[in-house]
């Protein structure tokens, strides 16, 4: 066994528990750097394998999220480098700035925002909620969603824009009230 493996007392069960506990924060961090949820899925999958392989480097459970963010950040850079070779993508400097800003949002703040969003989504009618979530669940195929709903893509974009603005306002108000 290497020195790294000897240093950690965390086992497979600890790793799985910590990964599940912090997965949303890691995914949100990755999404702040990547262009799509498909890219996030790819990066998180690769990063979680590396985290498992390097678990011996982790000294304690409290360090899991910052340690995981470093690994996710590296995999985001690798993903973007591969994409950059295929066409235009953000500069490394911009990605670094975005990553630094995303790391400043701690887990408590992330949880507050998620709870506010869930509460605001609950205030929408069921059809409105389905419409707001549909592009994310169906990988953004607005044209297909519009055809299924018997409307034009432009009309659907406008309706989604109005609903998203309502959500944004609701979340802002909710966060402002909870910090008062």
- Write the pLDDT tens digit of every residue in 29-77: 888 888 888 889 999 999 999 999 998 888 888 889 999 999 999 999 8
- Provide the 8-state DSSP code for 140: T
Give whole-number Cα distances, 161 to 19, 23, 152, 156, 171, in Å.
34, 28, 14, 8, 15
Crossing angle of helices 64-86/12-31, nearest 10°? 50
Alpha helix (H) ranges present in 56-125?
Answer: 64-86, 92-104, 107-122
The residue with greater pLDDT, 71 or 99, is: 71
Task: Quote the CA–CA distance of 131 and 129 in Å, as a whole number.
Answer: 5
- pLDDT of the residue at 87: 60
CATH architecture of 3-105: Orthogonal Bundle (1.10)
Residues of the chain with CATH 1.10.10: 109-179
Contact 130, 180 (CB under 8 A): no
- Write the pLDDT tens digit of every residue in 123-175: 999 888 888 877 666 555 777 777 877 888 888 888 888 998 998 899 899 98
- At the topology level, CATH places domain 109-179 in Arc Repressor Mutant, subunit A (1.10.10)
Q: Count the residues in the chain.
A: 180
Q: How far apart are the first and last CA of the chain?
A: 52
Q: Is the per-residue pLDDT at 85 higher than 80?
A: no
pLDDT band at 106 (very low <50, low <70, confident <90, very high): low
pLDDT band at 4 (very low <50, low <70, confident <90, very high): very low
Contact 167, 132 (CB under 8 A): yes
Look up residue 95 and give its two tokens: 């990605």
pLDDT band at 6 (very low <50, low <70, confident <90, very high): very low
Give whole-number Cα distances, 24 to 45, 67, 75, in Å.
13, 15, 17
- pLDDT of the residue at 3: 44
* Helix or strand holding residue 129 (H, E): helix 126-137
- Average pLDDT (110-115) is 80
- pLDDT of the residue at 64: 93
Contact 66, 60 (CB under 8 A): no
CA quadruple 179, 118, 32, 127: dihedral sign: negative
Residues of the chain with CATH 1.10.1740: 3-105
- pLDDT of the residue at 37: 82
Residue partners of 15: CB distance under 8 A and separation at least 6: 51, 52, 55
């Amino acid at each position: 066994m290497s020195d790294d493996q000897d240093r950690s007392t965390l086992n497979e069960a600890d790793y799985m528990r910590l990964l599940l506990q912090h997965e949303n924060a890691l995914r949100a961090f990755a999404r702040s750097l990547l262009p799509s949820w498909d890219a996030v899925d790819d990066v998180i999958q690769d990063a979680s394998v590396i985290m498992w392989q390097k678990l011996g480097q982790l000294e304690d459970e409290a360090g899991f999220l910052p340690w995981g963010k470093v690994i996710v950040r590296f995999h985001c850079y690798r993903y973007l480098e591969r994409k950059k070779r295929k066409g235009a993508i953000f500069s490394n400097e911009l990605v670094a700035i975005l990553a630094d800003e995303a790391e400043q949002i701690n887990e408590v703040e992330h949880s507050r925002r998620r709870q506010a969003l869930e509460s605001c989504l609950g205030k929408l009618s069921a059809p409105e909620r389905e419409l707001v979530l549909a592009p994310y669940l169906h990988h953004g195929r607005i044209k297909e969603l519009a055809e299924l709903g018997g409307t034009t893509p432009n009309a659907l974009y406008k309706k989604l824009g109005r609903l998203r603005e309502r959500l944004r306002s609701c979340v802002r108000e909710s966060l402002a009230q909870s910090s008062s």
